[in-house]
Chain A
């Protein structure tokens, strides 16, 4: 039992928490920007999978993780483009299209994996790590929190950038208007479709990056359905965070910790079976939803396609 509290264990736990949190963070931030603008993106799980696949493929073929990340973002962007076209421009039911995208991309990535990797199951070497000088020397916490792949730092920086964007920029005003009262934005002379499209494209890109990170850095390989609900967790985070990127970060870290706990407990050789451990993160989610769900305030025009002149 004292293994559980050894330095090694805690360090591994924290490191794993951050690694697991990053895809959730990116998914959550991505979903948040879409929802702010009034688009409910259920397809984000599929977008992450596509990013995971293209990211893995890119990294594997080129030998460079950076190429992998770029490919992952490109994959997510394409999926986002599709969603923008169907839901923003053409005004289809966002839930139906989202389910379609998730199913289609789940199937497509599994299909492609079958034909490409199911015999070889290639793995990627461990990802490069950037250490933050000074901080990395703090005992236990240092190597766990300050020696990570650059995408991690990017994701955290993104939280701050988005906070500023939402509160201090014109574009932030456009997003909020598009989600709360799109006709007011239209009348003020700003293109509602363009605002929503940009939001959805950003969502796709971030989801793709999150998936790519998950596959290349987090796991080092790609298997079908590797995201295992990370996209949906991102939706939960976005809904609970009430428009605040910092809260997405907080929530992602909590869930990341739970996910990390599952691996850590297994590694530590406890007698608690895998399946029970795997329930922990989702239990945490349900508890959060029970406790805070009521206070989640969603934009008024969420899920409703905008049509000029309709009342």
Chain B
């Protein structure tokens, strides 16, 4: 306990800190977000130049294809569905102080569960029930896949970064093995599961090709945000994530809460996989791993774990993802560039925030 703070006490006796809202203060959030974004784009441009690609051409193509073309925009919105669900799952975990890096494994196994159940129930049960049950099974599978890391963290304090990462590798291999060996569709030459017919998948929105999965994703993320901000349960999670000693002092059941958080987070990841299958693909191909989790994790950081900000960042990621896939075919820039760009944005924004905090501390003195 430092007694420097008793010296601060003298200050607070004098007068409370006055809030001086300058123009700078109002512009600050914008500055700290957009300037680093520009810097990131610049750095990424240098890399593009180094491999012989015109950066302006690339960016304009991505934006044009991902945002401004009608078919591209619809694909972007559809792509948001699994990304939003993943973001929701990550926000719950991260705000509770739990690094669930196993979302990709949970995603794939959730996808597999849905890919297996849906075609099997098709025709047997009404369409909406097939979809609901498949999505729920996907969620359950994801949750089960996190059980081991959850238990190890809650009851044995084993670091979950390591356990969840290992479960991802395991999950990817297991998923592949199951697709190729157990759930293989004999009707096709390509190794994949039985396909759910297009008209049995998640309905499209209005007259567009946008899957209604994006609505599920939006609902999920808004619900997560409200739960974290407004409910007792959410507050308990935030306390546990903020300070484990204080959580214990306040009498919160940390171990039980840890298990619950893992289950919820992984369930959402599994749901994301399920929604992607019954909404878009209809089946699960072997050796398929879109690694969405990898990309959504930085988005969630950038959004400072805020649900509504996450929606914006996920939209940007979606545009980049769809546009980037197109650019891969047209301009020969592989999708791995998306990873690079996302990483650069993450790091430049971290630097910007650090600089900003330093500024603020200077101003106080």
Contact = CB atoms under 8 A, between A and B. Distances in A.
Asked if A and B touch directly (CB within 8 angstroms), the answer is: yes
Interface of A: 42, 86, 90-93, 95-97, 99-101, 103-108, 110-112, 114-115, 224, 228-229, 232, 235-236, 239, 273, 275-276, 278-279, 282-283, 285-286, 289-290, 293-294, 296, 298, 311
B52 interface: yes
A248 to B, nearest CB: 14
Contacts of B181: 273, 275-276
Interface in B311-352: 333-334, 336-344, 346-347, 350-351
B298 interface: yes
Contacts of A276: 173, 177, 181
B339 A289 contact: no
A90 B158 CA distance: 28
A224 B177 contact: no
B162 A114 contact: no
Interface stretch (B21-29, B79-87, B163-171, B218-226): B163-171
Contacts of A97: 347, 350
Interface of B: 1-2, 47, 51-52, 99, 101, 148, 152, 156-159, 161-163, 165-167, 169-170, 173-174, 176-177, 180-181, 294-295, 297-298, 301, 333-334, 336-344, 346-347, 350-351, 354
Given A99-B298, A294-B156, A311-B2, A282 B336 contact: no
A interface SS class: helix
A232 B163 CA distance: 10
Contacts of B47: 108, 111
Contacts of B1: 311
Contacts of B336: 106-108, 110-111, 114, 224
30 contacts: A86-B350, A92-B350, A92-B354, A96-B350, A99-B298, A101-B343, A103-B295, A103-B339, A104-B340, A107-B338, A107-B342, A108-B47, A111-B334, A111-B336, A112-B51, A232-B165, A235-B161, A273-B181, A275-B180, A279-B173, A279-B174, A282-B170, A282-B173, A283-B170, A285-B166, A286-B170, A289-B152, A289-B162, A293-B158, A311-B1
Contacts of A86: 347, 350-351
Contacts of A93: 350
Contacts of A275: 173-174, 176-177, 180-181
Nearest to A310: B2
Nearest to A96: B301
B45 to A, nearest CB: 13
- Most B-side CB within 10 Å, residue of A110, A111, A239: A111
A290 B152 contact: yes
Given A96-B301, A115-B52, A236-B162, 6 more contacts: A92-B350, A100-B346, A273-B181, A282-B166, A293-B152, A296-B158
A95 B99 contact: yes
B173 A278 contact: yes
Interface-central residue, B51, B158, B298, B354, by most chain A CB under 10 Å = B158
Contacts of A110: 334, 336, 339
A93 to B, nearest CB: 8
B157 A294 contact: yes
Contacts of A103: 294-295, 298, 339, 342-343, 346
Interface centre among A92, A293, A298 (most CB of B within 10 A): A293
Contacts of A104: 339-340, 343-344, 347
Contacts of A283: 170
Nearest to B354: A90
Contacts of B338: 107
Nearest to B336: A110
A290 B150 CA distance: 12
Nearest to B178: A275
A107 B152 contact: no
B297 A99 contact: yes
Nearest to A286: B166
A86 B355 CA distance: 12
A97 B348 CA distance: 11
A111 B162 contact: no
Given A95-B161, A273-B181, A279-B173, A100 B298 contact: yes
A232 B354 contact: no
Contacts of B294: 103
B330 to A, nearest CB: 15
Contact of A107 (B161, B169, B340): B340
A293 B149 CA distance: 11
Nearest to B294: A103
